[in-house]
Structures are given as C-alpha cells and as structure tokens.
Structure 1
Amino acid sequence: MDYPRREQTYDAETLLGSGLIFQGWVLAKEGATVRPYIRLNSKKYYLKINLSRPDVIRRVLNEESKGHPRLYCGFRAAVPLNSDTCFFGFENNKCDYDTMQIFIEGSLKIIEGHDGWLFLDNDTNQSVEQFTGKLLLDWREKRAWYDYLDSLSKLAEEYLSAHSVLIAPSKEMVMSDYYPHRKGSTTPVEQVEKLADKKHNVVHPVKRMQASKDRVFRVCDTHWTHKGAQCGLLAALEVLGLDTVAVASLFSDDKFREVVRAGDLGNKIFPRRTARELIPNGISYRQWVHYDNHLPNMGRVLITQNKEALVSAKCLIFGSSSSYTMLDYVSRIFSEVIFVHSAGNIDVTILNQVRPNYLLAQTNGRFVIRAPIVGYRLEDEIEKKWAGLNDKEREEIIVSQGQWIEKWSKDTQLEYSYPLIIFFSVQNT
C-alpha cells in the first residue's frame, strides 16, 4: 500500500466527495486470483489491478520491467468515505482477509458517550482528568482562587455593585449519565466551591441544571443550550438579589424553533456530526447591540442598550464563550450590558469606567484549573489579538469600527468610549 499514508491531512469535503485515494500493488502466486478491496461499513469496493508498476518489477522481482507479464500489478482508486473507519484487504478463493484498518481522526479528539452524546477528550484543560479526580488544584492554585474571589468581593463592595461569580458547569458534570467515565470523589471545580466563602457569591448550578425539564446542553457541542443558559443565569441572578420570578416571567412567552447543528465538537470529527437543537425564534441580543469590536473570543467587547428592559441598570459581565448565549436573556433584563470576553478575569479600569450596578464574572467549569485574576488588562489582550490577525481580518474590523463611530455620533454621546479608545490606540501602533 503506497497511499494513504499515516498522518496525511485531508479536508472533509474531499473525503466525502472525490474520496480517499488508495494506491498500491499486488504480486500474487502464479495461478492465484487475488482481488484487493476496501470494506466500508457493510459494502466492499474492489480495486482493479490495472496500473503499470515497473518500479515493483525491478525492485521486488529484480527483473527487467519492459514487456514483463506481471507489469500491470498496480491499483489506484478514489473511494468516497462516509465513516471514520474502513478496512483494506484481499479476497482470495472466496475468503476475505482484512490486512489494514484505517482511521480518519478529526482535528479534535472526541469522546462519544451514550446515545450519541459527544464530549471533549485530550483537551488542553484535561477535562477527563478533572472529572475523574486525577487532576486537582494544588495549594498554590487554591490560594490563587481564594485571592481572586476575595479581591473581587472587595472591589464589588467598593463600587457598590452586587456581584456574582458564575461557573458554567462542564457538560460531563451535568450530563454524567451519558458520559463514559466515572466521576472522582472530588474535582477542581468542587475544590473551588469548598474554599469559597459565602460573601464570594460563587454559583455552580449543576443540580439546578440536572433538575431542569429542558435539555440544558447541546448534543454535539461543549456549550449549554439557550435553556441551559437561562437556567444558569437565573441561579446567578438570585445571588445578585433580583426578582427571579419576574425575570422568569419575562421569558415565559419565548418561542423556539428546531434546527440541525453540528457545534464545536460535531464540526471537528469525521464525518461531521449533527443533532437537532432548539434556538429562540425571533429573539437575539443583536437587536440591542450598541457597540461590538468584533474581535474573536478573548478581547471582544459588546455593549447592548435596551430602554424597555426589565431593570433600568448597568450590568458588567467579564465572561467567556458561555456568556454569548446568556446575552439573549440578560439584554432584556438590564437596560445596559457591557460584556468583555475575558474568561472571568477582571479589568479594574473598565470597572471604574462603567461603575455598574451589577457585576457578573463568568467562566467555564473546565477552565478552573487556572484561577482568573483581578488585574487583567483588556488593552494587552486586544494588542495580542490584533497582532495575530491577517490583513483581511484587520480591514474588516477597522471598517466595522468606523460604522460604530458614525452610528454613535448620530445617536448618543460616547459614554463608554474606553473600549473604543483602546482598540484604536492598539490599531494605530
């Protein structure tokens, strides 16, 4: 077998469309009828031996290839794949001999749990080791967590802001019935819960989400569903002192529609895996966006304004990827929402600029092996992110910033100019 070779890289479109190329050669004993094949699921695809291979005749038989009776001993064919596993083998005297198993691995290693549920595997945060209790926080990291929680609590008191620390549970913590590994006696996130004082207002709503009648996580994604985000947000709002009955009533008439989506896990395996999911119908935080710097992930800043919101107040969120789903809800609760994608790290300069009524730090359960910090600098994050963008990405973002300036100059004063000033000071350097 010449091809495929170990560790070759392909895109899914090629594998599903034109197919994977299988090339090799066969030299059978005289009189034998050998037929190479690819076995894919329950089907066999025979590979015709009709390719001239003078190199084989010279090197294997050590004979002159020109005019040799066994010159056409090679095969080459492209077989479209619809599975991540296939077999290469030979049929001889009506018997099949599988000689090679071929695996197609996605760009991310995935655990397939029960009933098709997908989970992270071998990720940088070592999710499996955290869940099984093999990876725990040492005394230094526990101290770092306590210092973070204590500093945040004091800052909130100084700025007269109600605050909460929301840890979005890892998928395996909530959907453990579908997860193939057994939970350890304790985990890093449970260590954080144990060391936190009551004044630290840590919320990790695992039991609340497990008790929900709605599906709270996506089948092919690491993130919670919109219903899961609402469940987690309500738990945090209780700590913030809001009337959660009134808030829940605000969402009681929400309509949902069914879509088929792959997600961050389903998109990174082969073949691409999808599942049916429910998303809000006609409701999106985008309709209230007042500013968006459009930077990918860390360093992104979003501001929403909604005069018809339930509460006339400012809410500042230092959040992570799970916060985006919450924005569809939180933008209807608070008249002003300032979201900074920082994974729970706190930029005191922004806190001083905004002086929110409510402060929410949000991180994801699998991130807790590294404590967030108070003393984070958004400016440094934007500078790093800007340096990593290509020319096309930079141009698109610069154009979007110009559109926001034009909109703001017509609609309102630049009350929250700090993120915008940071962006342009970085971009101009």
Structure 2
Amino acid sequence: MSDIKVLVGKEGWLFLQNDTNRVVEQNNGSLKLAVSQQEHWLNTLKTRVALLGSKNIKYYFLIAPNKESIYPEYLPDDYVITEDRLVYQLLDACRPYDLPVYYPVDVLKMYKEKYQLYPCVNTHWNGIGGFIAYDYLMNIVKKDIAVPILNWDQIIFVDEETSQDLGNKLNPAQTSIFSWGKVKQPQAQIAYDNRVINSGHVQVTVNQDTALPTAAVFHDSFIEFFLPFLMESFSTIHLFHTPSLDFDLIENIKPDVVISEMVERFLLQPPVDSLKRG
C-alpha cells in the first residue's frame, strides 16, 4: 500500500490518507470501534460527568468534524464516505445516557454555502469554521452557566496564502487561502505558553473581566482556530494539549467548566484519564 499521506481530490482540494487513525477506512465504514473500545468510551464519559458533576463542574465534549465530513463533494469519485461511520457509532452509544457529546457537522454544513470553513490544503477548520463551532458550543454552555458569546460583528477574518499541514507534504508545496479569525477589540490574552509543540502544550489565558466563569480545556490542534474567541468568554482558561483528563489537575484549578475537544478521526483511540489520587 502507498504510504503517501495526501489524497488529491477535486479542484485542488487535499485530504488525509494513510494516517495512524486510518481515516479512509473510518469514512467508508469498514473500521469501527470494537466493543471494548465502545465500552471504554462510555465508561470514560460517564466517569467524567459523574466526578466533575460531584464538584459542580459542567462538562462538554466537542467533536470537530473531519474535513471529509463537511466537504465530501471534493473527494475523488471512487472515495466512499458513509453516514454509518465511527463517529455516529459513538454518538448512538452515548445517546441513551444523555452524555454531553456534541458534533456540529450539520451546523458547519449549513454555513458552508456562504463561507469556506476548511482550507483546500489543510485538515483543520479555519478561523470561520472555528468561530461557528465556538458559537455552537457556547450556546450550549450558556444554558447551564452565564457566559458572554461573541457575535459576527465583533470578529474580523484575515486571509493568508499558506501551505499548512497537507500542502507542505507535496513537492512543490501547494498553497491555498486560510482565513484567520481575530477579535476586533479583545479583552483577553495568552498569559502563559510553555511553547511545547502538540502533545504537552500548556497555555493559560486571562480576561480583563475577572467576574466571568473559568474553564479547563483538554484538546488537540483544532483548538488553535477556536481559542481567540473562546478566551473572550471566560475569565481564565487553562489549556492542555492532551485527550486525557487529569482529575488532580482539575481539582487544583477548580474551573467552572471543563471542555474536551477532539477531531472526529481521533475517536478511534479512547483516552485514558488520570483519576484523582488519594
């Protein structure tokens, strides 16, 4: 099998293939969660809700859709993507337990008629996609806890020609427009950044409005294009680039809200949380 990680689709759109999460097989429905993996996910999510709830901490799990889930029309004609893929297997398993798992695929599809939400040469959503996902999640959070939500008039998008994660894998590199999201009059800033790349990255944001709720966010790289908006809704956010929750860490931070963010293709590998010691 070819080990080329870039799949060239229609009109210059690039997609991921031959990755460790086997995204092509997830999309065509041939790769599903094993029973043990599904049980692991359910036990993990139930434990998170119970333990955090016992501390009056609200929990939300946001699944960022794969690029293929939003723009299947740009995939090659012989590429199969099914509505019976792994993400829906997990959502169906969670539904009877009313677990706080959210997948904004329909919202993003609705907006794609007006905006481009994922760049041609990147697996991630851009600033516009990140803002729509932010608005989607914050309106869910607001039902439980008072948080301000930015509106479109408070945001500006700046376009840049760039190659980014998929385009960089080609020779020569392929570029496309990436729309960065910026807040016109930001009240928050990043106060701490350990500068670690990917796993182990830690950041802390602070807001001028110290009366707002606080949050801890456990995430992957999709958060980068979501964070400029999110930090305007909380007084302090502690961010950790990891899929796993550390309950001792949460106990020390004592946030009002815990958010997990994970891209759809990563669901194949259920996280192992660090439970409270002692």
TM-score, normalisation: structure 1? 0.59
How many corresponding residue pairs? 269
Aligned residue number for residue 214 of structure 1: 115
Q: Helix, strand or coil: the match of 2:213?
A: strand
Note if 1:169 corresponds to 2:73. no
Please say which structure displays the higher CA radius of gyration: 1
Counterparts of 1:175 and 1:265 in 2: how far apart (Å)? 16
Contact 2:160–2:178 (CA under 8 A) maintained in structure 1:
yes
- Cα deviation digits, residues 359-381 of structure 1 (max 9, x gap): 1011111101111222279xxxx
Check the 8 A contact 1:161/1:356 in 2, yes or no: yes
Q: CA RMSD in A?
A: 2.5
Question: Which of 78, 82, 92 lines up with 1:184 in the alignment?
Answer: 82
- Residue in 2 that maps onto 1:364: 263
Query: What secondary structure, in the 3-state scheme, does the structure 2 residue paired with 1:333 have?
Result: coil
What SS does the corresponding residue of 1:223 show, helix, strand or coil?
coil
Is this contact kept in 1: 2:12–2:120, CA < 8 A?
Answer: yes
Amino acid in the other structure paired with 2:91: E
Give 1:171's aligned amino acid: K
Partner of 1:305: 206
Q: Deviations over 1:330-383 (max 9, x none)?
A: 1111110110000x3101111101111111011111101111222279xxxxxx
* Correspondence for 1:156: 52
Distance 1:200 1:301, change over 3 A: same
Tell me, in whole angstroms, the C-alpha distance in 1 between the residues paired with 2:186 and 2:73.
Answer: 33
Which residue type is aligned with residue 253 of structure 2?
Answer: V
Match of 1:316 in 2: 216
Cα distance, 1:290 vs structure 2: 1.5
What is the match of residue 224 of structure 1?
125
Secondary structure, in 3 states, of the residue corresponding to 1:272? coil
Q: Which runs of 5+ in 1 are unaligned?
A: 1-104, 378-429
Question: Identity over the aligned pairs, expressed in percent?
Answer: 25
Mapping for residues 2-81 of structure 1, pairs under 5 Å: none
Provide the secondary structure at the position in 2 that maps to 1:156.
helix
Contact 2:218 2:261 in 1 (8 A): yes
Aligned equivalents of 2:206 and 2:101: distance in 1? 27
Mapped contact 2:127–2:157 kept (Cα < 8 A): no
Alignment of 1:247 onto 2:152: no
Does residue 236 in structure 1 map to residue 132 in structure 2? no
1:374 to 260, 273, 277: 273
Deviations 1:276-333 (A, max 9, x none): 2222357698971121111111111100101147x61111101111111111111111
Q: 2: CA distance between counterparts of 1:367 and 1:333?
A: 27
Q: Higher relative CO (CA 8 A, sep ≥ 6), structure 1 or 2?
A: 2
What amino acid is aligned across from residue 232 of structure 1 in structure 2? A
What is the distance in 1 between the residues matched to 2:185 and 2:20? 32
Asked if structure 2 preserves the Cα contact closer than 8 Å seen for 1:201 and 1:239, the reply is no
TM-score, length basis structure 2: 0.89
Residue 19 (structure 2) aligned to one of 87, 102, 123: 123
* 2:43 equivalent to 1:109: no
SS at match of 1:352: helix
Q: Give the counterpart letter for 1:265 in structure 2.
A: L
1:248 shift after superposition: 3.8
